[in-house]
């Protein structure tokens, strides 16, 4: 329970409840003032008007007429309260009050509230009891002239018991509503906090499992599509990337241990044998060792490039780039090498939108595709580099040849590190070129697809085509 009370969601819920209760309180205060406040002002206005009329009547017609009018008005109105007292004798001349309220003497000339006893009568007009009620009034002193010794005390009041009862009931209802609102807000906050805490606990449980070494764990999605689901999906994507990087590191370690051990062993054996040979043998061994060392350095550089690209470091800041311009530069660069190898390099371009990417990495990807075509399309004569607009609104480029091609069952394998098909074993290479291109594609959010290339002239088979599709630039 204490953990629920410490959650951010519960605190925010309490803040919202307090703000809501405050708004309701302000609205209640406004309605209260607009109803009961105005009613109280109206009562005071009526009393002042009544006293003014009686004062005018006294000044024009005297105390006798004032006494008769008060008796008449007492009989006509049920909630009107009057009292006429002669001073200094203190005799009650008219009215329906049995005694002068003590508050009247303390507040002469001002409004005051007081309690009085009202007789209860049955249907036959007989008094059956008394009822204590609340009233509001004002007492004034009437004199025939400022020098007159005789004066009259006039009390004019109105019965406000019903209004005060309704006022107290309304206050009680508003108070209970506020308490219920706060209690309901606390309950909702607890329920909401428990729900949110349960989902957060799922994330914590997954994080603890991953911290324990199980990188296959993922945060389950509820399917609600809310911000927590979006956060979970992003975290899962991040975990997928981390798992890929960790798997890549393991693969690199395994591949280095497996594929680089043989060249290093060969170098050691060659140098050992050269120690026992003549100068010519030593010279040949050193030259061969230099060649193998350069191949090893190239392999390590390729592995380092793949690791940097997969970590996001090698791609750098992605900027709008023109794929057509890159293709034109690569075609111009590789055309002499293609002619020397007996290939016709053809460039086909169409209006292509800009895409976000790294010009250096995309150029390297195009160069790797052209390198592979020149190396492995043995017996072929054509290489076509094509650039255009993709169906998804982005850009697409492809390299196709009419060489021997790659069997469909081997096409996915050639993107793995150090994988070289049997037909290419005699060709120099490390088996990392397409792995590097695959890493470049993932860094750009692009896809790579291996397809059939250019058909052979005898319609027996076809070469290989590589298609790289970039997403549209937002």
List pLDDT tens digits, range 93-146: 888 887 888 888 888 789 999 888 887 777 776 777 888 889 999 998 888 777
Q: In angstroms, rounded to a whole number, what is the distance separating the alpha carbons of residues 473 and 393?
A: 9
Q: Would you place residue 424 in the very low, low, confident or very high pLDDT band (cuts 50, 70, 90)? A: very low
Tokens, residue 244: 């890929």
pLDDT tens per residue, range 199-209: 788 888 888 88
C-alpha torsion angle, residues 385, 389, 390, 396 (rounded to 10): 30
Least confident residue range of 175-179, 308-312, 327-331, 366-370 = 308-312
All residues at 6 or more sequence positions from 266 whose CB lies less than 8 Å from its CB, including other chains: 292
Mean pLDDT of all residues in 404-430:
62
Would you say 131 and 109 are in contact if contact means Cβ atoms under 8 Å apart? Answer: no
| Single pTM value for the model | 0.48
Higher pLDDT, 238 or 308: 238
Backbone angles phi, psi at 450, to 5 degrees: -95, 125
Mean pLDDT of all residues in 166-179:
84
> How far is residue 252 CA from its own chain's centroid?
39
Higher pLDDT, 269 or 400: 400
Query: What pLDDT, on a 0 to 100 scale, did the predictor assign at position 288?
Result: 82
Would you say 144 and 116 are in contact if contact means Cβ atoms under 8 Å apart? Answer: no
Q: Would you place residue 305 in the very low, low, confident or very high pLDDT band (cuts 50, 70, 90)? A: low
Backbone angles phi, psi at 5, to 5 degrees: -70, -20
Least confident residue range of 106-110, 234-238, 304-308, 464-468 = 304-308
Report, in angstroms and rounded to the nearest whole number, the Rg of the chain calculated over CA atoms. Answer: 50
Query: What pLDDT, on a 0 to 100 scale, did the predictor assign at position 303?
Result: 66
Q: In angstroms, rounded to a whole number, what is the distance separating the alpha carbons of residues 155 and 292?
A: 122
What Å distances lie between residue 70 and 26, 81, 107, 144, CA to CA? Answer: 43, 9, 22, 17
Least confident residue range of 39-53, 293-307, 441-455 = 293-307
Secondary structure letter of residue 387 according to DSSP: E
Tokens, residue 359: 């010009």
Q: Would you place residue 425 in the very low, low, confident or very high pLDDT band (cuts 50, 70, 90)? A: very low
Task: Kindly tell me if the per-residue pLDDT of 245 is higher than 60.
Answer: yes
pLDDT tens per residue, range 56-98: 998 888 888 888 888 888 877 667 777 777 766 677 888 888 7
Sheet harboring 127-143: ordered strands across? 91-95, 80-87, 151-159, 127-143, 111-121
Q: In angstroms, rounded to a whole number, what is the distance separating the alpha carbons of residues 446 and 467?
A: 10
Higher pLDDT, 179 or 306: 179
Residue identified by tokens 């030593």 is 282
Query: What pLDDT, on a 0 to 100 scale, did the predictor assign at position 52?
Result: 92
Backbone angles phi, psi at 112, to 5 degrees: -150, 150
- Find the DSSP H helices in 7-128: 8-32, 38-76, 102-106
Beta strand 344-349 with 382-389: parallel, antiparallel or unpaired? parallel
Task: Kindly tell me if the per-residue pLDDT of 232 is higher than 80.
Answer: yes
Mean pLDDT of all residues in 389-396:
90
Task: Kindly tell me if the per-residue pLDDT of 298 is higher than 50.
Answer: yes
In percent, the amount of the chain with pLDDT more than 90 equals 13
Mean pLDDT of all residues in 146-155:
81
Task: Kindly tell me if the per-residue pLDDT of 4 is higher than 80.
Answer: no
Would you say 199 and 219 are in contact if contact means Cβ atoms under 8 Å apart? Answer: no
Query: What pLDDT, on a 0 to 100 scale, did the predictor assign at position 252?
Result: 64
Nearest to 197 by CA among 5, 357, 419: 5
Q: How many CB atoms lie within 10 A of CB 257?
A: 9
Would you say 444 and 318 are in contact if contact means Cβ atoms under 8 Å apart? Answer: yes
């Amino acid at each position: 329970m204490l953990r629920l009370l410490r959650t951010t969601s519960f605190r925010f819920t309490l803040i919202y409840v307090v703000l809501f209760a405050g708004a309701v309180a302000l609205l209640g205060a406004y309605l209260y003032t607009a109803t009961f406040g105005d009613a109280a002002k109206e009562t005071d206005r009526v009393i002042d008007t009544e006293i003014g009329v009686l004062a005018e009547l006294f000044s024009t017609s005297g105390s006798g007429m004032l006494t008769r009018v008060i008796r008449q008005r007492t009989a006509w109105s049920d909630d009107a309260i009057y009292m006429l007292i002669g001073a200094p004798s203190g005799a009650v001349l008219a009215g329906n009050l049995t005694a002068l309220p003590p508050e009247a003497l303390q507040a002469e000339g001002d409004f005051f509230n007081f309690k009085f006893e009202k007789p209860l009568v049955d249907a036959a007009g007989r008094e059956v009891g008394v009822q204590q009620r609340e009233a509001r009034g004002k007492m004034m002193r009437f004199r025939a002239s400022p020098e007159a010794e005789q004066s009259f005390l006039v009390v004019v009041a109105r019965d406000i018991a019903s209004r005060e009862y309704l006022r107290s009931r309304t206050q009680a209802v508003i108070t209970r509503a506020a308490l219920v609102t706060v209690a309901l807000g606390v309950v909702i906050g607890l329920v909401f906090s428990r729900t949110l805490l349960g989902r957060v606990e799922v994330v914590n449980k997954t994080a603890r499992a991953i911290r324990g070494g199980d990188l296959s764990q993922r945060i389950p999605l509820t399917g609600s599509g809310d911000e927590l689901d979006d956060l979970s999906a992003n975290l899962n994507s991040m975990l997928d990337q981390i798992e890929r990087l960790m798997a890549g590191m393991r693969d690199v370690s395994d591949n280095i241990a497996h594929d680089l051990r043989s060249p290093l062993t060969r170098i050691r054996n060659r140098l050992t044998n050269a120690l026992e040979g003549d100068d010519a043998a030593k010279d040949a061994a050193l030259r061969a060792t230099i060649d193998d060392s350069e191949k090893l350095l190239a392999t390590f550089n390729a592995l380092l490039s793949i690791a940097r690209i997969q970590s996001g470091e090698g791609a750098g800041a992605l900027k709008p780039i023109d794929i057509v311009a890159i293709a034109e530069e690569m075609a111009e660069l590789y055309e002499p090498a293609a002619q020397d190898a007996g290939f016709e390099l053809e460039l086909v371009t169409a209006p292509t939108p800009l895409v976000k990417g790294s010009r250096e990495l995309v150029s390297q990807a195009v160069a790797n595709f052209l390198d592979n075509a020149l190396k492995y399309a043995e017996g072929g004569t054509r290489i076509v580099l094509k650039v255009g607009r993709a169906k998804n609104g982005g850009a697409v480029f492809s390299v196709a040849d009419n060489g021997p091609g790659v069997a469909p069952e081997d096409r996915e394998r050639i993107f793995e590190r150090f994988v070289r098909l049997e037909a290419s074993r005699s060709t120099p290479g490390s088996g990392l070129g397409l792995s590097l291109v695959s890493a470049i594609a993932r860094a750009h959010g692009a896809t790579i697809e291996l397809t059939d290339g250019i058909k052979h002239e005898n319609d027996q088979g076809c070469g290989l085509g590589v298609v790289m599709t970039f997403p549209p630039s937002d």
